[in-house]
Amino acid sequence: MLYPAKFEPEDGGYNVSFRDIPEALTCGDDYDDAVEMAKDALLTSMDFYFEDRRKVPMPSKPRKDEVLIELPSSVFAKVLLLNEMVEQNISNVELAKRIEVKPQEVQRITNLTHSTKIDTISKALSSLGKHLQLSV
């Protein structure tokens, strides 16, 4: 998942913002530093959506002056799961029942810092009537 970011030069460095994810604001001392900071800000901002149980906006098409910043695939899969749970108003407890695990396991699945097998996320999405598809 690639999110468009605006890099605005300032005092030799760059301010970075994401129009789709307004919580993701950062800056860097130079362009390369700003790219790394943008990756971190984008990833960190996902926590706000997960904590508040809000749908994460999908990335819009980039504009000519924007840079694409990648959200890690493991996080992207969890974002898709969160969005579907919010859309269908499915609690962690209900999802746990559907995939036959303890509710604590669903807490780990929806925790961005916990490594979760892609098959587990796929199973959770399938229980919601969705199918995870990967492509190159």
Please write the tens of the pLDDT for every residue from 74-124. Answer: 999 999 999 999 999 999 999 999 999 999 999 999 999 999 999 999 999
What is the rounded distance in angstroms from the CA atom of residue 56 to the CA atom of residue 128?
17
Closest by CA position to 65, among listed 5, 134, 107 = 5
φ/ψ of 5, rounded to 5, equals: -125, 145
Please write the tens of the pLDDT for every residue from 5-61. Answer: 999 999 999 999 999 999 999 999 999 999 999 999 999 999 999 999 999 999 999
The amino acid sitting at 108 is: R
